[in-house]
């Protein structure tokens, strides 16, 4: 029986399958690998790829530690084995002007432009200020780094 378990695990590794996902570090991007209406699982992705729609900007330590001010997607992680503390990962949208997004529940995915999509009309770096966007825009602001994203509806 033990040999079967070892062979199965080895087969999964060789085939590229794994039981865990690689987590991004601060400044790295992430893609959605599992999405439900109010929860998301993210894994590391190339920031220039179509899938790398979120960037990890902060990891806050402690049960009550909030993300910096802004519209971050938050992912709470399990307790660290050594410290017994939880962490909260704070993700900002990683988009450029002209990108199209589709909202799935509380989360955005980058898609080809078309019916039912919303377009990133403006990205302002260095300022977290909702007044940078037009009336009717869906606005995302982030304090760290200061950024304003305007999304036309």
The tens digit of pLDDT for each residue in 14-72 reads: 334 444 568 899 999 999 887 765 667 889 999 999 999 999 999 998 767 889 999 99
Q: Whole-prediction pTM value? A: 0.79
Please tell me the least confidently modeled range out of 57-71, 80-94, 106-120, 123-137: 80-94
Within a domain: residue 25? yes
Conformation bin of residue 13: beta by default, left when phi > 0, alpha when psi is -120 to 50: alpha
Within a domain: residue 109? yes
Which residue in 104, 107, 110, 144 sits closest to 127, CA to CA? Answer: 144
What is the domain range of residue 98? 20-152
**Positive/negative CA dihedral, 81, 70, 56, 45:** positive
- Which residue, chain included where needed, has tokens 């939880």? 86
Q: Cα separation of 84 and 95, whole Å?
A: 35
Query: Count of domains in the chain?
Result: 1
Within a domain: residue 9? no
Residue 116 pLDDT greater than 70, yes or no:
yes
Which residue in 61, 104, 107, 106 sits closest to 80, CA to CA? Answer: 61
Within a domain: residue 31? yes
Within a domain: residue 8? no
Within a domain: residue 15? no
């Amino acid at each position: 029986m033990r040999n079967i378990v070892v062979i199965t695990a080895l087969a999964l590794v060789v085939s590229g399958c794994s039981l865990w996902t690689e987590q991004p570090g601060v400044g790295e991007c992430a893609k959605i690998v599992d999405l439900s209406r109010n929860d998301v699982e993210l894994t590391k992705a190339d920031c220039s790829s179509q899938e790398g729609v979120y960037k990890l900007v902060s990891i806050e330590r402690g049960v009550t530690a909030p993300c910096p001010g802004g519209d971050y997607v938050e992912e709470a992680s399990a307790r660290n084995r050594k410290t017994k503390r939880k962490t909260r990962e704070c993700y900002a949208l990683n988009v450029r002007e002209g990108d199209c997004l589709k909202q799935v529940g509380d989360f955005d995915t980058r898609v080809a432009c078309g019916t039912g999509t919303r377009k990133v009309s403006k990205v302002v770096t260095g300022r977290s200020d909702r007044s940078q966007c037009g009336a009717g825009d869906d606005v995302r602001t982030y304090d760290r780094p200061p950024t304003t994203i305007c999304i036309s509806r």
